[in-house]
Structure 1
Amino acid sequence: MKKKTIGALILAAGAAATLAAAATPGLSSTLTKPADHPESGITWAAEQFASADVTAEKGLAEAVRRCMAKAGYDYTPASAGQSTVDLKHHIGFDTLTVEAARASGYASSKPKGPGEPAEGSELGKLFADPAFQRALHGGEPQEQNTVRSSQGTGMLAGGCTAEGITAVYGNANDYMRATGLAFNSLLVATNAAGQDSDIEAAVVAWKECMTTTAFPYSRPGEAVSAGLEAGGQKELKIAVTDATCREKTDFDAKLTAVLDKYLTTRMKELETEVAEVRQIRNDASARASALLG
């Protein structure tokens, strides 16, 4: 048995989360139009739709771990799905509360989830091993391990990855729909929301507040960059000042109101897909629960 390794990379389905938006069900070539009567709370509902089922993802990781153990690798993959989605991040801003800023500065703005392993690290060497890759993703030719369906193309689905996906989600097509494609289907709405003039109005109000402080930055992104560069106590001071001005100007509420306009339209368009994805996740969660015991 090879040395235990905790995966810092997603399964094979990172590709599912980065499939071209054009592969998403019902995706229009034009950006989503704002609703005349935005639905309060729809942004939260959209974030739930964009987020993978936690139990299903744990079951998938466990199924892959067991399969890899049979191949001689004690390897536990990191979750591939977007477990918690903050759609404000996808219009250029991360949620920041005063409490979070006091506790950990701009931790919420730092990279999350799996990423590329450092070259030469134990994990990097493992992923450079062709035998490990064959066990995880399947053998050559690669063409035979590529999923093509009405939902999209581009995810490797061989080896233990395919075994895990089948065990929990039933098939790769449903897995793609319940993870990366669910998230991708909202991009036409978030991209449209990011161009809404109400966002700039919210930024201007925040800027006016910041001019009265020791950190007169023009945009939240400038404050975040300065805080992360400074680190330590100065990062905390900048973050708390930033978060306080966001609170005073209702910054996050204004961003959510913008998202509500576009997501009301988009979630209406996706009603059938949302219901079907919910059922896929429920079934996957049940299989995962049985697998996890």
Structure 2
Amino acid sequence: MRGYDARTNPEEAGGLPPGKDQRVNAAFAGDPEKGTVSVDGIPGGVAKEGCLATAYEKVFGSVESGVLFEGGAENLPLPYVNAALDGDSMRKLNDEWSGCMKRDEMLDYATPDLIHQPTKKPDIATAVADAKCREKVDYESRLRTQLNAYLTTFLNEKQGLIVQASDAKKAAESKVSEILGQ
């Protein structure tokens, strides 16, 4: 057989034996009942024991630095982005865009994002209509202004954590050759 194995049962596809996948996951993640490592201001954390904590120690110099880098890089800006996209000015902008689509293009979409959902199959005419209405309401510029305002607040409020995450990244980069044996 070529390509991906279409069978979904791991035992059929040559995956891990029953129960072993749970043991592998437990070894990787560790047992949170034996203690966890977390960092103030960063969502989540990792179990003190387990491959992940060991890897963080090796790569970042400490488990805390690994949690800071991994959790911070992925999660810190999210509340700010979500607030920017859910604010009154974004609702107003989406309403203006939606009104343009209904009025000028005879299409019924509440937001530009809805055009690209998997259940929709936008055609060229819909893409052109979207572009026309985005231009008419200055969508991209206003969205960028909104995001910049919230992300500037993020940068100001989280500057200390950002510097710590940057330092953790530099520490990891300095260990690459040693870890890879070069």
TM-score (norm 1): 0.47
State the Cα distance separating 1:166 from its structure 2 match. 1.6
Structure with a larger share of its residues in helix: 2
Return the match for 2:137 from 242, 245, 249.
249
Number of the residue aligned with 2:169: 281
Number of the residue aligned with 1:218: 110
- Identify which of structures 1 and 2 has the higher relative contact order when contacts are C-alpha pairs closer than 8 Å and 6+ apart: 1
Which one-letter code corresponds to 1:259 in the other structure?
Answer: L
Return the match for 1:146 from 1, 20, 36.
36
Q: What is the percent sequence identity of the aligned residues? A: 25
Distance (Å, rounded) in 2 between the aligned partners of 1:279 and 1:247: 41
**Uncovered stretches (5+) of structure 1, i.e. residues with no partner:** 1-117
Alignment of 1:180-199 (within 5 A): 180-199=71-90
Q: 1:123 to 1:210 in 2, by over 3 A?
A: farther
State the Cα distance separating 1:157 from its structure 2 match. 4.9
Q: 1:242 to 1:128 in 2, by over 3 A?
A: farther
SS of equivalent to 2:46? strand
1:177 aligns with 2:58: no
Q: 1:284 to 1:235 in 2, by over 3 A?
A: farther
Q: Are the counterparts in 2 of residues 127 and 133 from structure 1 also a CA contact under 8 Å?
A: no
Distance (Å, rounded) in 2 between the aligned partners of 1:126 and 1:181: 35
Which one-letter code corresponds to 1:173 in the other structure?
Answer: E
Q: 1:147 to 1:229 in 2, by over 3 A?
A: same
Deviation string, structure 1 residues 42-72 (Cα, Å, up to 9, x no partner) = xxxxxxxxxxxxxxxxxxxxxxxxxxxxxxx
Which one-letter code corresponds to 2:90 in the other structure?
Answer: I
Q: 1:235 to 1:149 in 2, by over 3 A?
A: same
Distance (Å, rounded) in 2 between the aligned partners of 1:214 and 1:154: 49
Q: 1:178 to 1:202 in 2, by over 3 A?
A: same
Distance (Å, rounded) in 1 between the aligned partners of 2:108 and 2:98: 7
State the Cα distance separating 1:272 from its structure 2 match. 2.3
State the Cα distance separating 1:168 from its structure 2 match. 1.1
What RMSD over aligned residues (CA atoms) do the two structures have, in Å? 3.3
Distance (Å, rounded) in 1 between the aligned partners of 2:58 and 2:18: 23
Distance (Å, rounded) in 1 between the aligned partners of 2:82 and 2:90: 12
Which one-letter code corresponds to 1:120 in the other structure?
Answer: N
Q: Are the counterparts in 1 of residues 28 and 52 from structure 2 also a CA contact under 8 Å?
A: yes
| Runs of 4+ residues deviating >6 angstroms | none
Which one-letter code corresponds to 2:75 in the other structure?
Answer: N
Distance (Å, rounded) in 2 between the aligned partners of 1:289 and 1:250: 48
Return the match for 1:120 from 6, 9, 12.
9
TM-score (norm 2): 0.70
Distance (Å, rounded) in 1 between the aligned partners of 2:35 and 2:129: 50
Q: Are the counterparts in 2 of residues 210 and 245 from structure 1 also a CA contact under 8 Å?
A: yes
Return the index of the structure with the highest Cα Rg. 2
Residue-pair matches, total: 170
State the Cα distance separating 1:178 from its structure 2 match. 1.2
Q: Are the counterparts in 1 of residues 80 and 154 from structure 2 also a CA contact under 8 Å?
A: yes
